[in-house]
Structures are given as C-alpha cells and as structure tokens.
A and B are shown apart, each in its own frame.
Chain A
C-alpha cells in the first residue's frame, strides 16, 4: 500500500445552507493512488463535499488539504484536477469532438498531445463513431460518457467524479471501472460517488455518508466485517442434525433451516476446514451484500 500523504484530508469540515447542516464535522482521509467510492442516500452531502474540495463553496468550519495544499490554494492546482459535475457540463450545440477539443484547449494541450488523447478517450468511452454528432443529439448514456472523456482529457492527478456511470450500460461500466483502477495503479486518485453497490465493491476504499457525516469507512471487506456480516456457507447434507452438532461443537456458528445447514464463516479460509469435517451432497456460498452492511450501519448510527 502506498500510504504517503493523503490526496484529500478533511478535518471537522462543516457547511450549512441556511439552517441545514449539510456537512457535519466531516473527517476523512482519501489516500493517494486509490479508487475511493463515496456512498450515501440522496441529500447526504456527497456532492457538497466534492464541491468543497474544489472550493466552489466556502467551509464554515474545519480544515481540508488537497494534493498537499490547503484548500484555500486549490485554485493553483486546478490543472491537476478533473471534476465531473453531476449535471454533465457539455455544450449540446457542439459536436462530440468539438466539446473535447474545447476542454483540451482550456487545459493548454498541445496539438499532437491533444489528437492522441482525443483518440484514446474516444476509444475508451466508445464514441469514435459518433465524433461528428452534436452532443445534444446523443443518448443519455452517451452524453454521460462524453462528459467523462472531457473530464479526463488533461490527465488529471486527482479525479472527482460525481455519479459518472449514471445511465451507462453494464458493458461500458465495466470498461470504465477497469480504466479507473488502471489510473489508480498509475498513482492517480479517483474519488467517485455512486448509488450502485456493485460499483462500490470494485473500489479499493468505500466511505458511507449520512446526514453530512462519515458513518463507515474502509475497504469493502472491512465494511462488511464492521457491520458483522459474514459469508454464509450453505450445506446440503445426508445427516444434517448430526453434522450440525459436530460443527457446532467445534465452535462454528450454525443455523439449520429446512434441513439446510448454514455456517457463518469468519473468513473464506474456513471453507476448507469445514469441508474437511463433512462431505455435503451440495453446497452454496452466500456472500454478504454491501448494501445490507450499510443499512445496518446507518441504523446503528
């Protein structure tokens, strides 16, 4: 793990709109070179947090540093940040390529670099064939893809992506996540908000927000553990009562339901151990859902 300085570090960050506390002494570290997924119900403050990182709003209280600089100086490193807003920030009356060229120009990409980058990203978001179409005439998911391409055009060190995969089909989402993980491997930091748990599971780190606070944080496995959720091994056995008693005697957590023995595992390594004891006719592994973990955690909070 490359635990150098965190890419983003927030300490007691607080922001109110009128009487509503949207960020409530939020403290979080987002390490460099990881994919970090910010989850939370609608209105929990995810977008507000991202906007605070790029200083689109001023904090009421607390401190924050971004890529090693205090947030008050973040405007000096805007060229290292790629920010994809929740509304897509494109010009519908320009073509796909013109939109990309415009953003490339803003960041001062040289001609050669620009052409190469454009092709690479058009390929990645699968819009090469639509480059001359007006952005306004694209489908919703394509529009979203173009917006992502425009955000990535200047190869930013820090990516802030507010719901980048809304409306994108599963095949392309897969491509996106491979791309994000590749970026993280190259040392870039990718902060993403989403409402999709299967996406969160692909991230190195997950943070779950509720009412402006961080309720739980860690790798997806850590979150599951924190919520007390374990993988469950379901066993169909010839003599369920006997085998269940035997396993129980050895300290396994057992439940028998309709003749199916369910073993709550501490870790996946235990599967082997269990199978050394019994020989099931059939078996199935039920992985816990991150979604359930968050439901539990937010009930507890």
Chain B
C-alpha cells in the first residue's frame, strides 16, 4: 500500500460534503434535531426538579431515621458511596442535600443556595431522629442514642436542568447522527459497488476513512455551532469556556462516532439493519453517560460500561467547558484522552474491516 496522500483524502472528503449538502432532510435534522431534543428533555426533566433530591450515604445504624427519610414522598433518595461524592453532587447542583449515616453520628450536608429545601431536609432529619430516640426509649436502650447531628452547608451552583443537560445533548446528537449517517454511507458504498471499485484504485483504506472523517467533520462543526448558539442564546445556558474548546470535544466525539459507524456497517446488510443498532449502540450511551442521573447512582456492576462509552467523557468535558470554563488543559485527562483512544481503536478496526480480499 502506498503512503496516505492528502490529495486523495481531500477528494473523498469533498465528495462526502457534496453528498451531505444535497441531502436537505439530513441537514434539517442536523440543525433542528438538537433544538427539539433540548426542549423535550430540558423541560420534561426540569419538571422533575420539584422533588427534593437527597443523597444518602449509608454507613449503618439509624434504622428508624432511614425509614423515616425513605417514607417521605417528596424526597428522591439517591444512594451514594462516599461523603465526597455527595459534596460534589451538591456543588454541581444535582442534589439538594445529603444525609450520612454512621453508627456513631449523623451528618447532614445542605445546599446553602436553596435554603427552603435545606430547611425541609433539616426538619425531616430532626423528626427522624426523634422517632429513633422514642423507639430506643421503649426498648430501654437509651445508651448511645445521644448522637450528635453535625450539619454542614455547601454552596451549590443551583443549576437549572437545562444547564446540566444542554451540553450533554450537544454531544448526544452529534454522536447519534454521525454514527447513523456513517454506517449508512458505508453500507451504500458496499451495495453500490463503489467500495469494490475503490479497492481496485490507488485509494487506500486509511485514506478513505480519513476522507470520511474530514468530510463529516465539517458538518459536525456546523451542527455544534448551531447547537451552541441555541443553547446559549435561547436557553440561557452559560458558556464560560471557549466555544472552540467545546467544538474540539464535539469533533473528537464525532470522529469516534464515524469510525464506530463504519465499523458496525460491516455487521448490517442493509440500511434498515443499521436502525436496529440504535438500541444496542446509542441507548446504552444515553442511559449510562451521566447526563440524566449522576454516574455515582449507576449500579456498581454496570458502572465500568459507563467508563468505556465515549459519550460519558464528552458529556463530562462539555459540561466542564461550558459551566465551569474549563480549558483544553483541564479536560485533557481523562476526557480528551479517552475520546482520542476510542477514536484510534475504532479507526484501526474500521480500516481493517474494509478488507481488500473480499473472500
């Protein structure tokens, strides 16, 4: 095989752009789908915020208090592993407070930015401890029941749901569309016979996939630019970091989705079958990427999956860039690194699958 030539990569990229440009429906979807999704998810989930999100770090003991907290209808209890998890989620505005139960003490973390909710949580804890004390008195075991309740206030960002979800939706939409479009494009290359013709031309497999990455990247830029514009102007999500950094994250994610799509096109015989990949490839990412509920609440045995899915890193990085003003250096590890590795692995897999000798 000859060395990759920029010229041929450019020729493939230009062709991909010409094809996509002509496909008005796809262009429309690329631009409007993110907006529609954001409205949908953003508002559907912000309604959910009326409940009180309370973290619970369970170190044992205090059965009556626990039972009391769980029994309160307005409380959404999220079980967490450690106090630091709870702290972080509160500071990110995803929890209103947390209760840490240990046999020797009860610690209460409250979000100082929403005092009303903090008050409700404190009152519930008081009531729960009172019940616990009453229970112990009837059984005559008063000793050790006089545990201190330590209360700590943390300043959360008090983010609206749209703020937390917006950046991640950008990643989700780019991933979804690039994956599907790339898989379909490669299936067509096969069924049209153009792939066979490439194989008998100076175009190498690396050049071909690179050309696709380049061509699709232009559309990813278009898509992320419009989405960023809409989330910041229409939905008022802050963009504290550089839009270029955000775009870099999305481009890397899009490139990963493209090679993944190319790779999976080998396992589908028709465009119709590509659609059947959605539940397999796309849905787990949506569920496990940490957009809708924090990764800490994903059951431990599934959590490793979250950490191999690219959307997890993209969502995390985008959130950091947009909400906290992170720069490239801040998200290099683990987010950009993970996205880069994902891209490289599937780039290699996709090119290897485009075998020259078909049989």
Chain A residues packing against B (C-beta within 8 Å): 17, 51, 54-58, 75, 78-79, 81, 83, 85-94, 98, 102, 105-108
Task: State whether B356 touches A89 (Cβ < 8 A).
Answer: no
Task: State whether A90 touches B356 (Cβ < 8 A).
Answer: no
Quick one: closest B residue to A134, CB to CB? B22
Quick one: closest A residue to B1, CB to CB? A75
Chain B residues packing against A (C-beta within 8 Å): 1, 5, 7-8, 10-12, 14-15, 18-19, 22-23, 191-194, 196-203, 356-359
Cβ contact of B192, chosen from A55, A86, A89, A107, cutoff 8 A: A89
Distance A102 CA – B194 CA, assembled complex (angstroms): 11
Task: State whether B19 touches A93 (Cβ < 8 A).
Answer: yes
Chain B contacts for A17, CB-based, 8 A: 359
Cβ contact of A88, chosen from B5, B12, B18, B193, cutoff 8 A: B193
Distance A78 CA – B192 CA, assembled complex (angstroms): 20
Distance A56 CA – B193 CA, assembled complex (angstroms): 12
Cβ contact of A89, chosen from B22, B196, B203, cutoff 8 A: B196
Task: Tell me whether A87 and B7 are in contact in the complex, defined as CB-CB below 8 angstroms, given that A56-B199, A102-B15 are known contacts.
Answer: no
Give the dominant DSSP class at B's interface: helix
A1 to chain B, nearest CB (A): 29
Task: State whether A98 touches B193 (Cβ < 8 A).
Answer: no
Quick one: closest B residue to A87, CB to CB? B193
Task: Tell me whether A93 and B7 are in contact in the complex, defined as CB-CB below 8 angstroms, given that A56-B357, A56-B358 are known contacts.
Answer: no
B205 to chain A, nearest CB (A): 11
Distance A5 CA – B191 CA, assembled complex (angstroms): 36
Chain A contacts for B5, CB-based, 8 A: 108
Interface-central residue, B11, B19, B200, B358, by most chain A CB under 10 Å: B200
Task: State whether B356 touches A91 (Cβ < 8 A).
Answer: no
Interface-central residue, A58, A89, A90, by most chain B CB under 10 Å: A89
Cβ contact of A85, chosen from B193, B202, B357, cutoff 8 A: B193
Q: Can you report 25 residue pairs joining A to B where beta carbons are below 8 Å apart? A: A51-B358, A54-B200, A56-B200, A56-B356, A57-B357, A58-B359, A75-B356, A83-B197, A85-B197, A87-B192, A87-B193, A88-B193, A89-B192, A89-B193, A90-B192, A93-B19, A98-B15, A98-B18, A102-B11, A105-B11, A105-B14, A106-B198, A106-B203, A107-B202, A108-B7
Quick one: closest A residue to B188, CB to CB? A91
A209 to chain B, nearest CB (A): 19
Cβ contact of A57, chosen from B12, B14, B203, B359, cutoff 8 A: B359
Interface-central residue, A86, A91, A98, A106, by most chain B CB under 10 Å: A106
Quick one: closest A residue to B20, CB to CB? A93
Task: State whether A56 touches B192 (Cβ < 8 A).
Answer: no
Task: State whether A94 touches B200 (Cβ < 8 A).
Answer: no
Distance A78 CA – B12 CA, assembled complex (angstroms): 18
Chain B contacts for A86, CB-based, 8 A: 193
Distance A85 CA – B267 CA, assembled complex (angstroms): 23
Chain B contacts for A75, CB-based, 8 A: 1, 356
Task: State whether B202 touches A106 (Cβ < 8 A).
Answer: yes
Task: State whether B202 touches A91 (Cβ < 8 A).
Answer: no
Chain B contacts for A58, CB-based, 8 A: 357, 359
Task: State whether A105 touches B8 (Cβ < 8 A).
Answer: yes
Task: State whether B192 touches A105 (Cβ < 8 A).
Answer: no
B18 to chain A, nearest CB (A): 6
B279 to chain A, nearest CB (A): 28
Distance A85 CA – B189 CA, assembled complex (angstroms): 13
Chain B contacts for A55, CB-based, 8 A: 356-357
Task: State whether A94 touches B18 (Cβ < 8 A).
Answer: yes
Chain A contacts for B1, CB-based, 8 A: 75
Quick one: closest A residue to B195, CB to CB? A89
Task: Tell me whether A93 and B192 are in contact in the complex, defined as CB-CB below 8 angstroms, given that A56-B199, A85-B197 are known contacts.
Answer: no
Distance A258 CA – B177 CA, assembled complex (angstroms): 77
Distance A86 CA – B356 CA, assembled complex (angstroms): 18
B27 to chain A, nearest CB (A): 13
A162 to chain B, nearest CB (A): 10
Task: State whether B15 touches A91 (Cβ < 8 A).
Answer: yes
Those 3 A-B pairs whose CB atoms lie nearest each other, nearest first = A105-B11, A87-B193, A89-B193
Distance A263 CA – B56 CA, assembled complex (angstroms): 108
Task: State whether B193 touches A106 (Cβ < 8 A).
Answer: no
Task: State whether A89 touches B197 (Cβ < 8 A).
Answer: yes
